[in-house]
Amino acid sequence: MSHSRRTFLLGGLAGAGAGLLTGSAGAEPARPASLAFHGTHQAGVLAPPARQVAFVSFDVIAPDRAGLVALLRTITDRARFLSAGGSPAPEGIAGPPADSGVLGPRIPGGATVTVAVGASLFDHRYGLADRKPAHLKPMRVFANDSLDPAWCHGDLLLQISAVDNDSVLHALRDIMRATRGGMQVRWRIDGFISPPRPSGTPRNLMGFKDGTANPDVTNGSEMDRLVWAGAGEPGWAADGTYLVVRLIRMLVEFWDRVSLSEQENMFGRRKDTGAPLSGSVESDLPDYHADPVGSVIPLTSHIRRANPRTAETDASRILRRGYNYDRGVDGAGNLDMGLVFTCFQQDIGRQFEATQERLADEPLTDYIAPFGGGYFFVLPGVPGADVYFGQPLVG
């Protein structure tokens, strides 16, 4: 299919699903300035998304298993410090300052470092082949992808989030400085969440509120069904989760030349309020039951394909966290910006891939170009001061 010729929206003809109403809707509560570092799960999974984030994928270059253990210990020490804050002890005349000083003499804390590992870490290098999480594999190529190998995969991924961009960059510099011999950056993308305009869920760079419908993170049993690692996982992986990252460029110039009603039909929601086309406010749930042929919310619309809200598709729901990115300008003089799409789930195949397959050839594909990302397993949390990330895996 040619990428530049848009697919026309087909007013629905196909049969309809049952109107199962699932998922919370509306703006999430604000994220606290700082999250507790120690816990069963990593704090950066269920917390409301932070305003600033960096996703940094690394190749692990530690020479052996002991080197990998040292690396994970160092990452843990740094992450703990960056979360709690404090003042590094003075160096005297023994070396350059330990801290970049980007945040001033006292590090306020509040940076949340979330650590995940890719399938390649479980190759022959560190003797971990028999401990791979059950559903971890390299990211697949999907219809309409234009993946650049330099922007895909990785042995280890850090999601570094904070209220302010300087905190994210400070944390990244701190961690990289301490781990140069153990890992090297493979790709990195910075993302941000816009302020609500004017209210409700923040907007993506297509101008639509993005993040409205999501599983309820305060519902423990829903999280156990949809997010946290489930049956069939190796023992060490309990309390972890899978993270999918998809780097998706938006062809914003093209998008801005499309009529409002076509844009809204593509998503199935109003651009101004974020309300489903079947409702009037953002928190209204889309009603597919009363609209079996898609005359209100087209059957090909993004939200209807992504989550048909049927009993059969309920277990494929994902916890989405989208961030805007902005990478400058391409050779054609067009802006390079888009979405760092991420989602947490219990099983990548059952959830993300099933959703992505339902979205294949949706009308929106003509305005986006997925170019990178990867599949990762978010390690279980660090329960106490004497424990490090991945200890039950490598220890």
Partner 1 sequence: MSSTHPTRRRLLAGGVVAVAAAVVAGVLVFARDGGAPPAPAAAPAAAPAAEPVVAGTSNCGKGWAPHAGDQTVQVVNRGTAATDVEVVAIPSGAVHGELEGLGAGLTRPLRVVLGGGDYAIRCGVEDVSPITGPVVHVAGPPGPAGVVPVTANDLAGPLEQYTGYVTTGLTTLVRRTTELRDAVRAGDLGKARSAWLPAHLAYVRLGAAYGAFGDADGAIDGDPGGLPRGVADPGFTGFRRLEHGLWHGQSAKQLTPVADKLAADVAALRKSFPRSQIDPRDLGLRAHEIFEDVDRETLTGGADQGSHSELAEVAASLDATKELVGVLRLVLTTRYPRLSEVDSGMARLASLLAGLRPYRPLGSLPRADRARLNGSVGDLVEKLAPIAVICAPRRTS
* Token pair listed for 276: 């489903």
Q: Which of the listed partners (ligand HEM, partner 1, none) does 210 bind, with a CB threshold of 5 to 8 Å by partner kind?
A: ligand HEM
Q: Are 161 and 191 in contact (CB under 8 A)?
A: no
Nearer to partner 1, 19 or 85 (CB): 85
Which of 52, 57, 167, 204 lies at the binding interface for ligand HEM (CB under 6 A)? 204
Q: How far apart are CA 114 and CA 49, in angstroms?
A: 12
Q: Are 30 and 163 in contact (CB under 8 A)?
A: no
User: Half-sphere exposure of residue 273, counting CA atoms within 13 Å on the CB side?
Assistant: 11
**Hey, which residues between 4 and 43 contact ligand HEM (CB under 6 A)?**
23
Least distance (Å) between residue 310 CB and partner 1: 44
Nearer to ligand HEM, 44 or 286 (CB): 286
* Total binding residues toward partner 1, as defined by CB under 8 A: 38
Long-range contacts of 321-329 (CB under 8 A, 24+ apart): 321/49, 321/211, 322/204, 322/210, 322/211, 323/49, 323/53, 323/191, 323/192, 323/193, 324/191, 324/192, 324/193, 324/194, 324/204, 324/205, 325/189, 325/190, 325/191, 325/192, 325/247, 326/192, 326/205, 327/189
Position 144 contacts ligand HEM (CB under 6 A): no
Q: For residue 329, count other CB atoms closer than 10 A to its CB.
A: 10
323 has which bridge partners?
340
**Hey, which residues between 78 and 107 contact partner 1 (CB under 8 A)?**
80-81, 84-99, 105-106
Position 277 contacts ligand HEM (CB under 6 A): no
* Binding piece for partner 1, criterion CB under 8 A, among 2-10, 62-70, 194-202, 328-336: 62-70
Rounded to the nearest 5°, which phi and psi values hold at 349?
Answer: -65, -50
**What are the residues whose beta carbons fall under 8 Å from the beta carbon of 181, sequence distance 6 or more?**
61, 62, 67
* Binding piece for ligand HEM, criterion CB under 6 A, among 174-182, 204-212, 220-228, 329-337: 204-212
Nearer to partner 1, 108 or 200 (CB): 108
* Binding piece for partner 1, criterion CB under 8 A, among 71-79, 159-167, 188-196, 228-236: 71-79
Q: Which of the listed partners (partner 1, ligand HEM, none) does 339 bind, with a CB threshold of 5 to 8 Å by partner kind?
A: ligand HEM
Position 267 contacts ligand HEM (CB under 6 A): yes
Binding residues vs ligand HEM (CB under 6 A): 23, 204, 206, 208-213, 246, 248, 250, 267, 269, 286, 302-303, 306-307, 318, 320, 339, 341, 352, 355-356, 359, 368
